[in-house]
Structure 1
Amino acid sequence: MTNPMHGVFAVPTTPYTEDGDQNLDALGGRIEEVLASGVTGLLGLGATGEALALGTAEREAQIKTIVSAVDGRAHVVIGCMAYTPSEMSAQITAAAGWGADAIMVTPPFYGGLEPDAVIAALRPVLTASELPVMVYNNPHSTGTDLLPDHLASLQDTGRFWSVKETSGEATRIRELRSRLGDDTDIFVGADGIALEGFAQGASGWVAASAWLLPEHCQKLWKLADSGDWADAVDLWRSLGRALGLIEGDSAFISLIKQALSNSGREQGPVRPPLPTADPEALAALLDAIAELERNHTA
């Protein structure tokens, strides 16, 4: 791929068969539909893809499926999330060998590390990476909030491509853009505040919701990127309702999967210990999607 890695990256779920295996045929079929919307790329094996529930062989099979299905038509970013820097690096090497274009790492989770310790852990990973690196700032899941100054200290590694920013802080995208300049891309990672992030200068959007609603998410980005803010706000009034229901539910992965299955794109369940969304939450989301589709053509 030669086009810039800006814009919308849809985050795939991992479909399962009735026997609990990955349903790679279903994954490949949905990739075709999502790519038709014009998204910049896919970010596979993120939290939405239940990456931590997959074994090494399952990871390999999924990455190869994504790369093969995309076939050079979009960028493929692969989550390489692990507790130790050595395991992150091993996953990066594997992803590079299987055809990924870039990778994403998080701070080591569970330990609740101070930011300086996280930067010390990530620095050798970025320095040695064969691929461009997105750093995922997700303090709610990792226990560490990487502020703009912390992230700026990684820019000299030469592999720091971008930040996926999911702290939810209202002004953080603007602060990151101011501190990191144009050398590092900044992506909105919290779907419920996507439009606010675009208004603050985000390079694009890493969106779990774009796996479910790719056409509408892509349209929102294109409107904002072209400066058509009136139409972007109008679309956001309906799209934001659906996205807020997804992001506000602790069982959001199950909710996305159930909504896709409801539309004939069978996803199967989530793997334990992830929770299953209740019927009331699914009904509310389907109602919001129906309203979105009545009010806006994709």
Structure 2
Amino acid sequence: MTNFPFPGLNLAITTPFDAEGRIDFLRLEENIERYLAAGVPGFVLSSGTGMHVYLSKEESRQLVERGAKIINGRAKVIAQTSALLTDEVVERTRHAAGCGADGVMVLPPFFEGPTDDQGIIDFYAEVAKAGLPIIGYNVPQAVGVAVTPSLLRELCAIPGFCTVKDSSGDLGKQASLIRTGLPVMNGADHLVPYALYAGCSGLIWGGANFAPRTCVALAAAASAQKWEDAREIWSALEPVMSLLWEGDYVQSVYAAAELTGYGAGSPRKPLRGLSGDRIEALRAALGDLASPEARSL
């Protein structure tokens, strides 16, 4: 869809932490500048990969404010504004709008929230009053709520609801969402080229933190329908993107980013750093991918 506001790669950027576990805003600026130089056209601040659920409300607000100021119109800005209370989601969304964000990503009600379609529709309709385009977040394995094709149609009828990010990891179910003809964004790293070929409208990609140039190139090849080029690029990415999806996702992204020069420190507790064996597995899966990414810094 030509008017879709978030095409191509939107980086679910890691939140950098210092040795004391505080947000490292200097490193955030350095990393954003590197990602912009690599051609990243969109960012998701306070993303799942950026440890949104382990940030305080004030930390998330600061992250969105500082990140949007650093980007300063040079790329699209999406802020995650998910929270348990609807009023807090609305408040966070209004704050993101005031910071200049282009849209927000919002989980459906979670932790014993409504699971019926109408309850979910009512929730997003309330959030939409805050005035920013909404990206719904389909991650049923974590939230317990699944966005089906029929629910997607009803959600997209809400003024301001523009798409859903599908992180289910099920290509068949994502394809069923895409077949509605409505915009769908892929959020499963190991499905990227298949989702693009199936017709997804954009990507929200955590694994791109450690290989931004290669991931930008893949998205560009797919946009130009150069599928042979896309397949060749994916052959370098596939081993590590598949490894990420096997478990310890956030910790693995942080560790891989350290290996390729886009480090953000260690993930915040309660997550722990990876074992030496897992880091070596990541290093092996990165293979030759690490060198060109590191050389570009």
Question: What TM-score does the superposition give when structure 2 sets the normalisation length?
Answer: 0.91
1:98: Cα distance to partner? 1.7
Counterpart AA for 1:125: V
2:186 and 2:202 in contact (8 A); partners too: yes
Determine the C-alpha separation between the residues in 2 that align with 1:293 and 1:17. Answer: 23
Relative distance call for 1:7 and 1:266 in structure 2 (3 A) is closer
Residue 25 (structure 2) pairs with residue 28 (structure 1)? no
Counterpart AA for 2:27: A
- The alignment partner of 1:8 has SS state of strand
Determine the C-alpha separation between the residues in 1 that align with 2:114 and 2:193. Answer: 31
Map 1:61-140 onto structure 2 (within 5 A). 61-111=62-112, 113-116=114-117, 117-126=119-128, 128-140=129-141
1:112 and 1:142 in contact (8 A); partners too: no
Map 1:1-298 onto structure 2 (within 5 A). 4-111=5-112, 113-116=114-117, 117-126=119-128, 128-179=129-180, 181=181, 184-249=182-247, 251-292=248-289
Structure 1 unaligned segments of length 5 or more: list them: none
Relative distance call for 1:269 and 1:151 in structure 2 (3 A) is same
Paired residue total: 292
Cα-to-partner distance string for 1:181-238 (whole Å, 9 max, x where unaligned): 2xx4211100011111011101121000111111111111111111111121122122
1:195 and 1:236 in contact (8 A); partners too: yes
Deviates more, 1:259-268 or 1:26-35: 259-268
Counterpart AA for 1:211: N
Relative distance call for 1:6 and 1:266 in structure 2 (3 A) is closer
Cα-to-partner distance string for 1:43-76 (whole Å, 9 max, x where unaligned): 0111111112112321222112211221111000
1:260 and 1:267 in contact (8 A); partners too: yes
Determine the C-alpha separation between the residues in 1 that align with 2:176 and 2:186. Answer: 13
Counterpart AA for 1:94: H
1:60 and 1:98 in contact (8 A); partners too: no
Counterpart AA for 1:237: S
Question: What TM-score does the superposition give when structure 1 sets the normalisation length?
Answer: 0.91
| RMSD between aligned residues | 2.2
Relative distance call for 1:275 and 1:20 in structure 2 (3 A) is closer
